[in-house]
Structure 1
């Protein structure tokens, strides 16, 4: 994983000093080659050992290795950045906002892709495809994504149980059987109701898949498998948009994998879509 992506994705789990180092590196990656560990420490008002420990936390022998890796990443991926930024800088506010949002969404989706490796995605596809029933739950805004994805699963012929009410979902756990899957949507993974539902579902020998931000949270910690979303921005309203965009990308790719993994489900999707078109035409 590229070092800047890893630093950004792990930022929420860092200590206060580590976040200061991370923010400086993320904001000044193209200038990092001019800073020694001592200069970086002095600029941030921290000890040099904190910089070294930060580098080692991300798998580097020391700060010089981290600096070199970031320099290589900037050289590979940032060569075209000035040319891309020029139109936005010379244009009006409308153009700047449009370009900034487009690039932020692309970066968040790429980070989300890197944080969900192939083996993890394929394991979740196997769990869902082999499940007798798939339970889908999410509250608030998460419930909108849960409902839409539950509908997609139904189109594939997957027997789906969806509820946005935790009490109704808890009641439906009486129908859970070994091998069933529970998809739990929770941006921050902190809601105790969803954690309780997950524990009860696992007690029925079902498998829990959490869909949360890439943060340390109780729901993700106790799930059997996890999908994680990366979305970071200094403006809360932009960060919320990045989360929705990255989550939608992740769910879209999971759906495509499910379609390709089982020809029978792909065939059932075609049949169900044709039924819906016929219903709408009559």
Structure 2
């Protein structure tokens, strides 16, 4: 996993000093090559050993190893700080915003792909494709994506139980059996009722797949498998747009893999789409 992506993912469970180091690195990754561990420590007002321990906690031998890895990461991503486009570039404000958003969405989707290794995606596709029943659950905004994905799975001929109400979903757990799969949508993965539903589902032998941000959170920690969404931006409204874009891209990929993995699913999709078209034409 790219080091900057790893730092962002683990920031939520870091100590206060570690978060200061993480934030400095994330904000100044393109300048890190000019900082020794002592200079970085002095800039943050912490001990040099704290910088070394931070590097080792991330799985690196030491700070030079971390700095080298981040340098490669920056070079691969185009190397250079993000800055607003110059005002004399021939584009008006409308065009600049459109271009910047397009670039941010592409970067977030690239990071999301990197955060979900092929082996993990393939395991989730196998679990979903082989499940006798699928339970799909999400609250609030997450419920919108849960509902849409549940509908798409139904078009593939899968038996899907979907609810946006925790009480109704809890009642439906009585129908869960070993081998069934629950997909739980939760951007931050911290709602207690989601964790409770997941544990009860696992108690009857079901498998839980969490869909959350690429952060350390209770839901993701206790799930049998996880899909992680990357969407970082200083502006909250842009971060929300990036989350929706990256989540949709990830779900689209899983859906296509399900169609490719099982020709019967693909045929059933064609049949159902034809039936829907006929219904709309009558």
Q: CA 1:263–1:87 in structure 2 vs 1: closer, same or farther (change >3 Å)?
A: farther
* 1:163 matches 2:163: yes
- Superposed counterparts of 1:115-264, under 5 Å: 115-264=115-264
Shift in Å at residue 76 of structure 1? Answer: 3.3
- The superposition leaves residues 91-131 of structure 1 with CA deviations (integer Å, 9 ceiling, x where unpaired) of 43323322222222222211111111111111111111111
- The superposition leaves residues 223-272 of structure 1 with CA deviations (integer Å, 9 ceiling, x where unpaired) of 11111112222222111111111111111111011111111001111111
Q: Please say which of residues 171-180 and 213-222 is displaced more in the overlay.
A: 213-222
* Aligned residue number for residue 47 of structure 1: 47
| CA distance in structure 2 between the aligned counterparts of 1:177 and 1:76, rounded to whole angstroms | 46
| CA distance in structure 2 between the aligned counterparts of 1:224 and 1:118, rounded to whole angstroms | 16
* Aligned residue number for residue 15 of structure 2: 15
* Aligned residue number for residue 30 of structure 1: 30
Contact 2:133 2:159 in 1 (8 A): yes
Q: CA 1:201–1:63 in structure 2 vs 1: closer, same or farther (change >3 Å)?
A: same
Contact 2:212 2:227 in 1 (8 A): yes
Task: Name the TM-score, length of structure 1 as normaliser.
Answer: 0.93
| CA distance in structure 1 between the aligned counterparts of 2:279 and 2:121, rounded to whole angstroms | 34
| CA distance in structure 2 between the aligned counterparts of 1:199 and 1:193, rounded to whole angstroms | 10
C-alpha RMSD of the superposition: 2.0
| CA distance in structure 2 between the aligned counterparts of 1:111 and 1:77, rounded to whole angstroms | 10
Shift in Å at residue 213 of structure 1? Answer: 1.4
| CA distance in structure 2 between the aligned counterparts of 1:206 and 1:88, rounded to whole angstroms | 56
Contact 2:85 2:96 in 1 (8 A): no
Specify every segment of 5 or more residues in structure 1 that has no aligned partner in the other structure, as ranges.
none
- Superposed counterparts of 1:59-78, under 5 Å: 59-78=59-78
- The superposition leaves residues 145-164 of structure 1 with CA deviations (integer Å, 9 ceiling, x where unpaired) of 00000000000000111000
Task: Name the TM-score, length of structure 2 as normaliser.
Answer: 0.93
SS at 1:135 equivalent: strand
Contact 1:88 1:96 in 2 (8 A): no
Instruction: Tell me the matched-pair count.
Output: 281
SS at 1:226 equivalent: strand
SS at 2:136 equivalent: strand
Contact 2:28 2:81 in 1 (8 A): no
SS at 2:119 equivalent: helix
Shift in Å at residue 82 of structure 1? Answer: 8.5
| CA distance in structure 2 between the aligned counterparts of 1:258 and 1:209, rounded to whole angstroms | 15
Specify every segment of 5 or more residues in structure 2 that has no aligned partner in the other structure, as ranges.
none
| CA distance in structure 2 between the aligned counterparts of 1:89 and 1:164, rounded to whole angstroms | 49
Contact 1:88 1:99 in 2 (8 A): no
